[in-house]
Amino acid sequence: MSLKTVSIQREITPLSQGDCLLVFDRQKSKFDFPVHFHPEYELNFIQHAPQAERIVGDHKSLIGEIELVLVGPNVYHGWNNGQCRSKQIHEITIQFHRDMIHENLLARNMMKSIKDMLGNASRGILFSETTTMQIADQLQQLSQKNGLEAFIELISVLHVLSISENQKLLCSGAMNTTDFANSDRIRKVCEYIEQNYQEKIKIKDLAISLNMTETTLSRLMKQRTGRSFVDFVNDYRIGFASRWLTETNQTIAEIAFRCGFYNISNFNRIFRKSKGCTPGMYRENFSGIKRVS
């Protein structure tokens, strides 16, 4: 499969630097998120979606009744409906920062299996059906926990997976993924947006702080993210808006303002463009659990 034939997006996950992990546990009737990549690790459990199509890097395949896949930072991945006719899909998605476990801890002998597994995740890892069925209840428990309990449960899950048998690497060894985070300037852009997304952000001010011209910064963003600067900032804001729509009882206007949108009509328009529905519909239709720890 050629990646050129697939529309790939850079996902803005609603994980701030102060968070450790994000858990989605939801029931859905179809797969509607495009192939994407992000700097975080992702562990994805899918049940009741036989014959759906999985894409991980240069690998594409139809899936069975149940599966569990770990993908590393910036590995292209996504699931689509394929030949699946099920309307009762169960999905648990866990995303966590690449530095959630400090490298000094990973260097310890007891962490070797987890360290090796995280390294192999750059090729995407499909765990056996036996392992997936054994870990399913623990993943369900993780989705119910918060804070330190969620973190400890995740480490336990990673340990069980790291010593499991019959792991399958999905991508070819020659897979070359774009490392979004390997640019100091891109990191500084992300830090600036994270610190200022609730305010009005002007590319001129950011370009000055980076000692760049606006044109150069715009070109850099397009090359490294596939998005314009404005679209990238809006994606970041919409990520938090979707998080707060499902986690809080704040009004849509309050959430819009909190995310840096000072015009509710503009917020509604951008949200619909990103999610395919209005903020109100997104909140009403969300079925499941979303927890950030």
Beta bridge partners of residue 46, listed in sequence order: 67, 91
Task: Indicate the length of the chain as a whole number.
Answer: 293
The answer on pLDDT for 183 being more than 70 is no
Question: What pLDDT sits at residue 7?
Answer: 54
The answer on pLDDT for 4 being more than 80 is no
Which own/partner contact pairs does 115-121 have at CB distance under 8 Å and 24+ positions apart? 116/162, 117/70, 117/158, 117/161, 117/162, 117/167, 118/41, 118/72, 118/158, 120/167, 120/169, 121/41, 121/70, 121/71, 121/72, 121/75
Asked whether the whole model's pTM tops 0.75, one would answer: no
Within-domain flag for 145: yes
Q: Give the residue from 187, 189, 191, 193 showing the smallest Cα distance to 260.
A: 193
Within-domain flag for 292: no
164 and 202, same domain (yes or no): no
CATH label of the domain that carries residue 273: 1.10.10.60
Within-domain flag for 175: no
**Cα radius of gyration rounded to whole Å, the chain:** 19
Lowest mean pLDDT among 68-72, 205-209, 244-248: 244-248
The answer on pLDDT for 179 being more than 60 is no
Residue 19 in tokens: 């968070």
208 and 124, same domain (yes or no): no
- Would you give the DSSP letter of residue 33? P
Lowest mean pLDDT among 87-91, 217-221, 285-289: 285-289
DSSP 68-114: EEEE-TT--EEEE-TT---S-EEEEEEEE-TTSS-HHHHTSGGGHHH
The answer on pLDDT for 58 being more than 90 is no
Residue 238: pLDDT band with limits 50, 70, 90: confident
68 and 40, same domain (yes or no): yes
193 and 283, same domain (yes or no): yes
Within-domain flag for 23: yes
Region of 57 (left: φ > 0; alpha: ψ -120 to 50; beta: rest) is left
36 and 165, same domain (yes or no): yes
**What angle (nearest 5°) sits at the alpha carbon of residue 71, between those of residues 67 and 74?**
150
Residue that is last in its domain, among 139, 169, 199? 169
Within-domain flag for 174: no
- Alpha carbons within 13 angstroms on the beta-carbon side of residue 256 total 17
Q: In which domain, by residue range, is 32 found? A: 3-169
**Across 82-93, average pLDDT:** 93
245 and 137, same domain (yes or no): no
Q: What distance in Å separates the CA atoms of residue 24 and residue 8, rounded to the nearest whole number?
A: 21
Amino acid at 193: I
123 and 242, same domain (yes or no): no
Question: What pLDDT sits at residue 288?
Answer: 61
